Amino acid sequence: MEKIKVAVLGATGMVGQYFLHLLNDHPCFQVVAVCASDARIAQPLGEVKSLHPAGIPEDMAHLALMGLDAGTLAGAGVQIVFSGLPADIARGIEMELAQRGIHVFSNASAWRMDPLVPILIPEINSAHLALVQQQLQQRRGFIITNANCTTTGLALSLLPLLPLGIRRLIIASYQAVSGAGYPGIPALDISGNIIPFIDGEEPKVRKECGKIFARIGASGLEPAEWQVHAHCIRVPTLVGHLVSTHVELAEAVTLEKITALFRDFEMPADVAGLPTAPAKPILMASEKNRPQPVRDADAGGPGRTAGMAVTVGRLEVDGNIVRFVNLANNLVRGAAGGSVLNAELCLRVGLIKGGAI
Amino acid sequence: MEKIKVAVLGATGMVGQYFLHLLNDHPCFQVVAVCASDARIAQPLGEVKSLHPAGIPEDMAHLALMGLDAGTLAGAGVQIVFSGLPADIARGIEMELAQRGIHVFSNASAWRMDPLVPILIPEINSAHLALVQQQLQQRRGFIITNANCTTTGLALSLLPLLPLGIRRLIIASYQAVSGAGYPGIPALDISGNIIPFIDGEEPKVRKECGKIFARIGASGLEPAEWQVHAHCIRVPTLVGHLVSTHVELAEAVTLEKITALFRDFEMPADVAGLPTAPAKPILMASEKNRPQPVRDADAGGPGRTAGMAVTVGRLEVDGNIVRFVNLANNLVRGAAGGSVLNAELCLRVGLIKGGAI
Amino acid sequence: MEKIKVAVLGATGMVGQYFLHLLNDHPCFQVVAVCASDARIAQPLGEVKSLHPAGIPEDMAHLALMGLDAGTLAGAGVQIVFSGLPADIARGIEMELAQRGIHVFSNASAWRMDPLVPILIPEINSAHLALVQQQLQQRRGFIITNANCTTTGLALSLLPLLPLGIRRLIIASYQAVSGAGYPGIPALDISGNIIPFIDGEEPKVRKECGKIFARIGASGLEPAEWQVHAHCIRVPTLVGHLVSTHVELAEAVTLEKITALFRDFEMPADVAGLPTAPAKPILMASEKNRPQPVRDADAGGPGRTAGMAVTVGRLEVDGNIVRFVNLANNLVRGAAGGSVLNAELCLRVGLIKGGAI
Amino acid sequence: MEKIKVAVLGATGMVGQYFLHLLNDHPCFQVVAVCASDARIAQPLGEVKSLHPAGIPEDMAHLALMGLDAGTLAGAGVQIVFSGLPADIARGIEMELAQRGIHVFSNASAWRMDPLVPILIPEINSAHLALVQQQLQQRRGFIITNANCTTTGLALSLLPLLPLGIRRLIIASYQAVSGAGYPGIPALDISGNIIPFIDGEEPKVRKECGKIFARIGASGLEPAEWQVHAHCIRVPTLVGHLVSTHVELAEAVTLEKITALFRDFEMPADVAGLPTAPAKPILMASEKNRPQPVRDADAGGPGRTAGMAVTVGRLEVDGNIVRFVNLANNLVRGAAGGSVLNAELCLRVGLIKGGAI
């Protein structure tokens, strides 16, 4: 069967290049267009500075960069775009594409808090795809976002606790420099140093957590009413956001029970088997001094699903309090991989035409 | 007036060498003996590998290393020892020295939880010196410890909040590699990495916080009954432990009030003016992305008091919750400098004979 | 056909664990024994601290560590040992094993300068296997060493220039911390720092270059009489030794000629196709700011041959001077992988019984 | 006596801020104007992001940034400017200032190779001030440059060998990230990595070495005709450029002689005692694994002369070859401090009016 034609927006950036790799040889999607800022139009993708350890995928090196023009993409038969654009640029073009009937899977924060746009993490809230139906009553295409890179790993690690009634979260993050994109953070600022502030990050974590775990009510999403206290802090690591996580539940639990919940947590059936879905979304660290960014950022692999699982360690229980650290790959699960998985889910449930998956 | 003769135990280690520097040209103390493990006996201190940025103090380079022998130190007229020994070695020798009438100011954890040994932070609990009187009924000398390097900065930063009734602490630390001494952590383990576990550290923070803020009751110290939840985590920085701090108070407060409490917090009169006491024990960071280890670890200086102040940043209030990050120099305020300040206080209050200060 | 039974000596160390990975699923060799220091005897390999990014190979995790006992290894039917032992320990046991008829492929420096022991780099000096025949007249087994980790990459990168008559080398190395093994270099010494001295390294580079490129004369190897001036310097990188290389040839050359020599350099026929042999031993960097350790240390792959090729960049010619930088994986090509390739070559040429390769 | 009024151009950049610190409380110079790009005009200097460990000097915090306007500076009575401008911007304004009679001491490379502009290193070539007289026949002010940050330390370390006849240099540098200014090199590019190419650096080292050691002939400078082969390589250190240096002399020497030349090398009388001149321009490392950037970058201090001395280590001799490593502070001696020393020399020799020094 023919693959679905897709484009990557912001293809020269860090997240854009991770999209390229996750879409390379993808069983369902074929990258036919790569878009960047006007200054780069016509440059072959292969000449762009590589920001992925494996370089620009060879099969895409010949693609010439295009501008961000919805008409041209529509003309080229593009059905889906994956967007790694900065938020300010994303806002206009993503909506324009959706209006033309091109479905947008975006890592940008521009539309995340829009009432009709889900922040989709398939294992958590595939029910939020109902919002997409509402979008399709207004326009021919839809926008689906993945969560912020810190929120994603945190949210996944909370999933086994959801039935127990989460009341409050207190977190401190240890975020890698790749979270700021490229060129991002100067070596002079972060070498051997910590920067205890990341502009806009803490409100994102708080609001996105509420929306991701929202229930669908009569008049739209009803955000989870958890208290969320976050310190988002930059540390001198390259890839992998670690989060010290303190959760308060509705009632007391035992370590045995919580351990079993994490250990036995399985990939939901509607997600299992998707090309980018890891065998298990949550892994338990084997050693008490894990997870570590250098060793665990690629958990979930090998191959296409490397970096798609979250690793949880140091699980402790004290009454109604559950504490642990979690680690997620901020570029894969927390960015490009999240949106690719979202697109695969949409294909499976028929929101995208083009065949079984 | 003649200076008091002191010795440094563990003089070749990281904390030991910081003791040497803080005692160099000290107005009250004169280092007359330096002790290390037997293998090094008779080696001149100047031949030891330097672990302090300024090298071994020139005036001490000629001192020959001695073994850990209480009799010899007593014979040399030593009145005080500063101990940077590992806990297991410290336990025996420190008590033996006290029994011989030599006062021990120790960075080791060996005696910290002993009911008669204070964990002294002068700004917080100089009243605990009452315990020393009880020690002196049992033996001719006394032992006073400084707190663990992470606890010290945390405890100081909580001091302005004390009158408001602290109920609970939830912290996550960002601890520098120097906290593990030398050789300490292999570059292969920590370069670009995070290790989310430090053996024994979290219980220390919990127990020491309780003891430092204890009230003196009829039958001894009554530990503060705060809940303390800590994640102690190693990051690739060299000096300066940063702590994400979440405090729950007895009742709601305002940001204005809390800001004023921190801003206006003054050095207590019984500590002010001691040679190693900074002008203010707590400084407020001037920028929202501070404190940072590279820029703020030496706060409190210049000169002898550099690294003796704690820096607090990102102050936030939400009802009864106060949140901030704090940074303290783990080698100065959190180790050697803490014990030197303790000795100065004891001199001032007359627990050590030898003159006014 | 049945695989040849092999053992890994020093299996818990850094190089030892790289041996395990390179021998895992090897088409010719089967690891049946793993040896370490006496303190670890009987410990399952799976419980050892992992020093390889991929952890201990699952299929070997059940193996119990054995002591360094030649008799036991012989009794277990071991035909080959791969040695990642420290030099002082290697000296005795490696010779004892050879005397018992077990062939030794060693990364240790203990026997490298022995007149009958080749420092074998298959692409360069497979003719030196003649020495092995002489060894076999003295004992039932033989010892073959790989070169020092810095020498290996340097020597390979010089190979295309060999026909032009090398007269003199002036090099400066940028050596990764993994070259010092584990625990190796403390983070406190090397973070953000350079250490311009590595004990014993510069004489090794000089002597080993001479021996590797030696001609076989009537009375044994006649070392290449090149002048070699080396500065061996440690930098804060993890894997991959880079070498600034300045070569003086017998006569003037052109950049075109030298570029062609490097570009067209092919794997010699007697090595090509061995399981651990990369397609080409020398790769040319694609960009002027390459090779870089982070990006190029695994050159030669994917799979079993990753890290087996040397990358050369910044090629320049000025009269009889050729200048470039080269990068080799110090743990793979410069250590474990070098010895595995040596064993494969010996199997192919019939020095080891056991089948075609 | 009144101080000479000076301005700093490019005052918000890395080198500009080092100028501010070196000129703070300077006995001869008073900073009365600070200039930056037009976008910053009128911003108080105190609001600029600090790029120096000690922050913006308090006494200058109130100064409002000015544009690069020669007329305004002349009107403000500025006699000297110190320029930390980028080369392309420096070219026009520096000449314009000189034409108006304002003397320019520049770290920019723009005018370094101009036949009438000296690359001045006072200990080496104060005789080149003769060129300044020629400049003053053409315009009312003059331009004097300091050398490139890598060249400076290298040139100083060669000075004791000068009488022996230098024929050839082969060097490999280990350059800190601060050499690229701020924001400079992204953490993502250099963390745990090496970049073996720095655009334009190697030709600068070669040409500047020739000019610095030039003799003054009938028709101007006659560059030293040394062969210079350089690999300029970026490593993950923050401050301090280390250089592996290989020197070929006219004839064979002994280690004793060379050691004595370095050890006994004194500050030339015409430079000794200048406020920014260290006691000795060249220090010998005390240990075989020194100099190291973290420990030795501030050599020459304390106080105003910290970072003004070069440290030489690992001295070796082999026939006519002398080998060593040297380390210089690229921001102080190799940039701002170099030009401040140049200005002090000009004041002493009367090229600048304003009083004795």
Characterize the bridge pairing of strands C215-217 and D321-328: unpaired
CATH fold of C4-147+336-348, please? Rossmann fold (3.40.50)
Residues C345/C120, Cβ–Cβ less than 8 Å = yes
First to last CA, chain D: 11
A-chain residues near C53 (CB < 8 A) = 294-295
CA torsion through residues C213, C217, C220, C222, sign: negative
Q: Minimal Cα–Cα distance from B69 to chain C, Å? A: 30
Distance of CA A56 to the CA centre of its chain: 21
| Nearest-by-Cβ selection for D191 from B53, B192, B295 | B192
Instruction: Find the distance separating the first CA and the last CA of chain C, reported in whole Å.
Output: 11
Identify all chain A residues contacting D189, using CB atoms and an 8 Å cutoff: 183, 187
Shortest Cα–Cα distance, B138 to chain C (Å)? 42
User: Hey, is the C-beta of B172 within 8 angstroms of any chain A C-beta?
Assistant: yes
At residue C170, the 3 state secondary structure works out as strand
For A200, how many CA atoms within 13 A lie in the half-sphere containing its CB?
Answer: 7
Answer whether B237's CB lies under 8 Å from A236's CB.
yes
Q: Which of C174, C17, C211 is nearest to C107 (CA)?
A: C17
Alpha-carbon distance of A80 to A97, in angstroms, equals 9
Q: Quick check: helix, strand or coil at residue C230?
A: strand
CB B326 within 8 A of CB B310: yes
D335 to chain B, closest Cα gap in Å? 22
- Does the structure show a pLDDT above 70 at C146? yes
Please report residues of A whose CB lies closer than 8 A to that of C294: 53
Contact yes or no for D289 and C236 at CB 8 A: no
Three-state secondary-structure class, residue B265:
coil
| Nearest residue, CB atoms, A188 vs list D182, D188, D192 | D182
Three-state secondary structure of chain D: CCCEEEEEECCCCHHHHHHHHHHCCCCCEEEEEEECCHHHCCCEHHHCCCCCCCCCCHHHCCCEEECCCHHHHHHCCCCEEEECCCHHHHHHHHHHHHHCCCEEEECCCCCCCCCCCCECCHHHHHHHHHHHHHHHHHCCCCEEECCCHHHHHHHHHHHHHHHHCEEEEEEEEEECHHHHCCCCCEHHHHCCCCECCCCCHHHHHHHHHHHHCCEEECCEEECCCCEEEEECCECCCCCCEEEEEEEEECCCCCHHHHHHHHHCCCCCCCCCCCCCCCCCCEEECCCCCCCCHHHHCCCCCCHHHCCCCEEEEEEEEECCEEEEEEEECCCHHHHHHHHHHHHHHHHHHCCCCCCCC
Cα–Cα distances in angstroms (integers) from residue C31 to residues C78, C79, C82, C343, D175, in the given order: 9, 11, 10, 14, 44
Per-residue pLDDT of chain A (357 residues; tens, 9 = 90+): 689 999 999 999 999 999 999 999 999 999 999 999 999 999 999 999 999 998 999 999 999 999 999 999 999 999 999 999 999 999 999 999 999 999 999 999 999 999 999 999 999 999 999 999 999 999 999 999 999 999 999 999 999 999 999 999 999 999 999 999 999 999 999 999 999 999 999 999 999 999 999 999 998 999 999 999 999 999 999 999 999 999 999 999 999 999 999 999 999 999 999 999 999 999 999 899 999 999 999 999 889 999 999 999 999 999 999 999 999 999 999 999 999 999 999 999 999 987 667
Domain positions in chain A are 4-147+336-348, 149-329
pLDDT greater than 80 at residue C183: yes
Contact partners of B by the rule of 3+ C-beta pairs under 8 A?
A, C, D
Give the amino acid at B261: L
Closest chain A residue to the Cα of B171, Cα to Cα? A172
Q: How far apart are the first and last CA of chain A?
A: 11
Residue C35 among the catalytic residues = no
Give strand pairing partners of D326. Answer: D243, D312
- Catalytic one of D28, D149, D232, D346: D149
Please, are residues A119 and A145 in contact by the beta-carbon 8 Å criterion?
Answer: yes
Angle of the D337-349 helix axis to the D129-138 helix axis, nearest 10: 80
- Sign for the CA dihedral angle at D93, D99, D103, D106 comes to positive
Residue C186 near chain A (CB below 8 Å): no
In angstroms, the CA D162 to CA D124 distance is: 10
Mean pLDDT value across chain C: 96
Tell the residue number behind the tokens 């220390």, with chain if given. B204
Annotation: CATH topology of A149-329 = Dihydrodipicolinate Reductase; domain 2 (3.30.360)
Taking Cα atoms as reference points, which of C246, C235, C329, C333 lies closest to residue C291?
Answer: C329
Taking CB atoms and an 8 Å limit, are D236 and C237 in contact across chains? yes
Quick one: tokens of C143? 């010892």
Distance CA B118, CA D223 (A): 71
Count of CB pairs separated by less than 8 Å, A with D = 56
B192/D190 Cα distance (integer angstroms) = 11
Cβ–Cβ < 8 Å for B317, B255: yes
Residue C261 has pLDDT above 70, yes or no: yes
The CA distance from B309 to B282, in Å, is: 6
Residue D172: strand pairing partners? D231, D244
What CA–CA distance (Å, rounded) separates D307 from D310? 8
Calpha distance C326→C316 (Å, rounded): 13
Superfamily of domain D4-147+336-349: NAD(P)-binding Rossmann-like Domain (3.40.50.720)
Nearest-angstrom CA–CA distance, C192 and D62: 34
pLDDT above 70 for B183: yes
Q: Which of the four pLDDT bands, split at 50, 70 and 90, describes residue C302? A: confident
Verdict on whether the full-model pTM lies above 0.95: yes
Q: In D, which residues are within 8 Å of A184 by CB distance?
A: 186-188
Q: Are A162 and A203 in contact (CB under 8 A)?
A: no
Give dist(CA B236, CA B344) in Å, integer: 33
State how far the Cα of B190 lies from the Cα of B177, in Å rounded to an integer. Answer: 8
Interface of B with C in 25-84 (CB under 8 A): 51
Q: Angle CA(D341)–CA(D120)–CA(D132) in degrees, nearest 5? A: 105
What value does the mean pLDDT take over residues C196-218?
Answer: 97
Cβ neighbours of residue D215 under 8 Å, at least 6 residues apart? D221, D222, D224
DSSP string over B225-251: --EEEEE--B-S-SS-EEEEEEEEESS
Contact C325 D293 (CB under 8 A): no
B173: which strand partners?
Answer: B243
Interchain pair D295, B192: CB under 8 A: no
Decide if pLDDT at C236 tops 80: yes
pLDDT score of B354 more than 90: no
Annotation marks residue D232 as catalytic: no
CA dist B218 and D146 (Å) reads 72
Q: Residue C85 forms beta bridges with which residues?
A: none
pLDDT tens digit string along B157-173? 999 999 999 999 999 99
Instruction: For residues C338-345, give the mean pLDDT.
Output: 98
Q: Which residues, at least 6 apart from D185, have a Cβ–Cβ distance to it below 8 Å?
A: A186, A187, A188, D177, D195, D234
pLDDT at C355: 67
| Count of C-beta atoms within a 10 Å radius of residue B289 | 18
* Residue C33, amino acid: A
Q: What is the mean pLDDT of residues D96-110?
A: 97
Sort C250 into a burial class: Cβ within 10 Å, 0-12 / 13-18 / 19+: exposed
DSSP state of B65: E
| Closest by CA position to C151, among listed C199, C210, C196 | C210
Q: Would you state the structure tokens that stand for residue A184, as one six-digit string?
A: 């991002």
The reported pLDDT for the residue numbered D98 is 98
Q: Would an 8 Å CB–CB cutoff place B303 in contact with chain D?
A: no
pLDDT at residue B323 tops 80 = yes
